[in-house]
Chain A
Amino acid sequence: AQSVTQLGSHVSVSEGALVLLRCNYSSSVPPYLFWYVQYPNQGLQLLLKYTTGATLVKGINGFEAEFKKSETSFHLTKPSAHMSDAAEYFCAVSDREDSNYQLIWGAGTKLIIKP
């Protein structure tokens, strides 16, 4: 069965520093890949997604992620962290052949921004 691993339940970076949140998946067939962001006391919002084509995907708020098939990874990055980036981030994958359109979720990484 598919699984998603997010390395680090908490990641702390200084304002202005590089943000790197890691996500690895288990499928041998490239799935659809997603990053969602959840601000405190809110629902989840799609940050970016990879379906096909270019492996470097740009999302909202300056975030981007790169799909690396050989490493089964889809890490999320942002060159310069801002205080407003403090949130929880979830990686999710979907089997392209799943007729129920389910997503398999990582456990989430809480991003802490130090002033």
Chain B
Amino acid sequence: NAGVTQTPKFQVLKTGQSMTLQCAQDMNHNSMYWYRQDPGMGLRLIYYSASEGTTDKGEVPNGYNVSRLNKREFSLRLESAAPSQTSVYFCASTRTGGSYEQYFGPGTRLTVT
């Protein structure tokens, strides 16, 4: 039981390049989330998927797109990376009908130069 996995762990991009961050969970959770973490700013929600087939914007969605590929997988895409997107990205999931605690992946450290 791996929980929430994320790939890659580290990535360096040049401005304007694109990439997709992958996230998968094996806990049969319905809801999945993408956050970014910047020093002194806590966690900010980028996008979430309350259930398979649905996605919604969070607090800071600009410059990102998401795909809920199936119940297990939720990917985050940067179409044209900018230095302001340098951050640590976390994927999380939660069980519908539970007490809302979220389970986190290990994170992806992204640097955009």
Q: Report how far A42 CA is from B9 CA in the complex, Å.
A: 11
* Chain B interface size range: 20 to 34
Q: B99 to A49, Cβ gap below 8 A? A: yes
Q: B48 to A107, Cβ gap below 8 A? A: no
B79 sits at the interface (CB 8 A): no
B26 sits at the interface (CB 8 A): no
- Among B41, B45, B104, the residue within 8 A (CB) of A44 is B104
Mostly, the A contact residues are loop
B8 sits at the interface (CB 8 A): no
Q: Which residues of B contact A46 (CB under 8 A)?
A: 101, 103
- Among B42, B96, B106, B107, the residue within 8 A (CB) of A90 is B42
A61 sits at the interface (CB 8 A): no
> For residues 86 through 102 of chain B, which have their beta carbon under 8 Å from a beta carbon of chain A?
90, 92, 94, 96, 99-102
> For residues 42 through 83 of chain A, which have their beta carbon under 8 Å from a beta carbon of chain B?
42-46, 49, 51
Which B residues are closer than 8 A to A by beta carbons?
Answer: 4, 31, 33, 40-43, 45, 48, 50, 56, 90, 92, 94, 96, 99-107
